Amino acid sequence: MPAIGIDLGTTYCCVATFHNGMLEIIPNEHGNLTTPSYVAFADGRRLIGEAARDQAALNPRNTIYDAKRLIGRRIDEATVSEDRKNWPFMVVEDEGKAKIKVESDGQSLLLLPEEVSSMLLAKMKEVAEAYLGQSVTDAIITVPAYFNNMQRQATRDAGLIAGLNVLRVISEPTAAAIAYGLDKKLRSECNVLVYDLGGGTLDVSVMNINENKFVVRSTFGNTHLGGQDFDQNMVNFLVKDVQRKHNVDVRESKSAMHRLRTECERVKRILSAELEATIDVDDIYQGISVKTRMSRAKFEELNAELFKSTLEPVKMALRDAQLNKGDIDEVVLVGGSTRIPMIRKLVKEFFDGKRLNVSINADEAIAHGAALQAANMIGDQSEKLKNLVMKDVTPLSLGTELYDGRMRVVIRRNSPIPITAFKGLQTTQDFQTECTFSVYEGERAMAADNHFLDSFLLTGLQPARRGLVKFDVTFHVDEDGILTVSVAERGTNNCGKIKITKAQGGLTEEDIERMKRDAKRFKAKDVEHNDRILIWNALNSFAYSIKRKAENYKVGCDWNREENKAILAECEKTLQWLEVNRNLTRATYEKKLAELEEICRPVTRSMPQ
Interval 348-363: pLDDT, tens: 999 999 999 999 999 9
- Of the residues 24, 66, 68, 83, only one is catalytic, namely 68
> How does residue 112 score in pLDDT terms, banded at 50, 70 and 90?
very high
Burial of 383 (0-12, 13-18, 19+ CB in 10 A): exposed
- Of the residues 114, 115, 172, 392, only one is catalytic, namely 172
DSSP single-letter state for residue 557:
S
Q: What is the pLDDT of residue 369?
A: 95
pLDDT > 70 in the chain, percent? 96
- Of the residues 114, 115, 126, 196, only one is catalytic, namely 196
> How does residue 74 score in pLDDT terms, banded at 50, 70 and 90?
confident
Task: Order across the sheet with 39-42: list the strands.
Answer: 45-48, 39-42, 63-64
**What would the pLDDT profile of 231-243 be if each residue is shown by its tens digit?**
999 999 999 999 9
> How does residue 388 score in pLDDT terms, banded at 50, 70 and 90?
confident
Q: What is the pLDDT of residue 502?
A: 61
DSSP single-letter state for residue 393:
B
Secondary structure class of 17 (helix, strand, coil): strand
Task: Order across the sheet with 190-197: list the strands.
Answer: 330-334, 190-197, 202-210, 213-222, 389-391
The CA radius of gyration of the chain, in Å to the nearest whole number, is 29
Q: What is the pLDDT of residue 243?
A: 93
Please give the angle made by the CA atoms of 349, 351 and 354, to the nearest 5 degrees: 90
Which residue segments constitute the domains of the chain, with CATH numbers given?
4-225+310-391 (3.30.420.40), 227-307 (3.90.640.10), 398-500 (2.60.34.10), 533-606 (1.20.1270.10)
> How does residue 607 score in pLDDT terms, banded at 50, 70 and 90?
low
Catalytic (active site) residue 172: yes
pLDDT > 90 in the chain, percent? 63
Catalytic (active site) residue 7: yes
> How does residue 498 score in pLDDT terms, banded at 50, 70 and 90?
confident
Q: What is the pLDDT of residue 556?
A: 56
Q: What is the pLDDT of residue 553?
A: 64
Alpha-helical runs (H) found in 322-356: 341-350
> How does residue 608 score in pLDDT terms, banded at 50, 70 and 90?
very low
**In angstroms, rounded to a whole number, what is the distance separating the alpha carbons of residues 142 and 395?**
14
Does the structure show a pLDDT above 50 at 481?
yes
Catalytic (active site) residue 254: no
Q: What is the pLDDT of residue 558?
A: 63
Q: How large is the average pLDDT for residues 18-23?
A: 91
> How does residue 503 score in pLDDT terms, banded at 50, 70 and 90?
low
* Phi-psi region at 81: left, alpha or beta (left = phi > 0; alpha = psi -120 to 50): alpha
Tell me the CA distances in angstroms from 462 to 69, 432, 486, 536, one per residue in order: 47, 8, 18, 77
A 10 A CB-CB count for 267 gives 21
> How does residue 299 score in pLDDT terms, banded at 50, 70 and 90?
very high
Higher pLDDT, 394 or 526: 394
**What would the pLDDT profile of 156-203 be if each residue is shown by its tens digit?**
999 999 999 999 999 999 999 999 988 777 667 899 999 999 999 999
Please give the angle made by the CA atoms of 456, 461 and 463, to the nearest 5 degrees: 140
Does the structure show a pLDDT above 60 at 269?
yes
Secondary structure class of 41 (helix, strand, coil): strand
Tell me the CA distances in angstroms from 454 to 27, 408, 413, 505, one per residue in order: 41, 15, 18, 9
Catalytic (active site) residue 196: yes
Does the structure show a pLDDT above 70 at 216?
yes
Q: What is the mean pLDDT of the chain?
A: 90
> How does residue 505 score in pLDDT terms, banded at 50, 70 and 90?
low
Does the structure show a pLDDT above 70 at 140?
yes
> How does residue 225 score in pLDDT terms, banded at 50, 70 and 90?
very high
The helix or strand, by DSSP H or E, that contains position 485, with its residue range, turns out to be strand 483-489
> How does residue 383 score in pLDDT terms, banded at 50, 70 and 90?
confident
Q: How large is the average pLDDT for residues 133-137?
A: 95
Q: What is the pLDDT of residue 609?
A: 44
Q: How large is the average pLDDT for residues 313-340?
A: 96
